[in-house]
Structure 1
Amino acid sequence: MKFKLIVASVSDEVTDAIVDAARAEGATGCTVVTSARGQGLKKTKTFFGLDLSGARDVVLIIVEQHLSRRILERISEAGGFDDRPGTGVAVMIDVEDAVGLGSQIHTLQSEIEDEI
């Protein structure tokens, strides 16, 4: 079984929406790293040296490759990445090897059996 890693940097108000969207498309879990910082095309404003940009989260989702594109597109829709600038960005990376997914592999095999 081959996997992809979806890494999404999102504003914290859309984190739950993209996690729910990923689960609805077949993701079996994720890791959310909170309080990340990022910058886009325009530098964020500060107030006496304090950053005024909203909090960001980094969401890490390991998914089976057959489900990966569908999940990536769905989280983009749920987060409004293309509709609202600054909401988030997601990339997908090949995973060469992974451990600790034994309990999820059985679930994934039954879910994607028809697609393979």
Structure 2
Amino acid sequence: MRFKVILALVNDDYQDDVIEAAKKAGATGVTILNARGEGVHEKKSLFGLNMEAQKDMLLFLVEDFNSDQIMGAIYESGQLHEPGNGIAFSWVVDRAIGLESQIPLLEKDARERYF
């Protein structure tokens, strides 16, 4: 099997929707990390204090054949077309171990979608 990691940084308001949509599109799980980001736009301040946007970083380890569908689901459900709502990207995984519990689900999904 070939895997990709999808990293999605989304606003907290959309986190549950993104996770649900990704799972419907074929993701079998997610790791959630709290993150802070800084982009090209100036930080907002309130009474001289910087207001940093908190984002949740969602890590999905997915089978390569599902990655485009999952990315599309993340884009739509996280409203990533709107400025400031986050970003998502993926990269190829060279090796993954410890996935014994997920392999049967991934194989079943591959058979149902492609054979």
Q: Would you call these one fold, judging by a TM-score over 0.5?
A: yes
Q: CA offsets per residue over residues 58-115 of structure 1, 9 Å max, x none? A: 0000000000011001110111101x11101000100000111110011110111142
> How many angstroms apart in 1 are the aligned matches of 2:93 and 2:21?
21
SS in 2 for 1:71: helix
Tell me the TM-score normalised to structure 2 length.
Answer: 0.91
Partner amino acid, structure 2, of 1:74: A
**Contact persistence 1:5–1:62 (CA under 8 A):** yes
SS in 2 for 1:70: helix
SS in 2 for 1:103: coil
The residue that corresponds to 1:109 in the other structure is 107
The residue that corresponds to 2:90 in the other structure is 92
Amino-acid identity (%): 39
**Contact persistence 1:12–1:54 (CA under 8 A):** no
Count of matched residue positions in the alignment of Structure 1 and Structure 2: 114
The residue that corresponds to 2:28 in the other structure is 28
**Contact persistence 2:7–2:88 (CA under 8 A):** yes
How far is 1:49 from its partner? Answer: 5.5
> How many angstroms apart in 2 are the aligned matches of 1:11 and 1:61?
16
Aligned positions of 1:32-43 closer than 5 A: 32-34=32-34, 36-43=35-42
> How many angstroms apart in 1 are the aligned matches of 2:50 and 2:85?
17
The residue that corresponds to 2:63 in the other structure is 64
Q: CA RMSD in A?
A: 1.4
How far is 1:48 from its partner? Answer: 5.1
Q: Which runs of 5+ in 2 are unaligned?
A: none
**Contact persistence 1:7–1:90 (CA under 8 A):** yes
**Contact persistence 1:9–1:89 (CA under 8 A):** yes
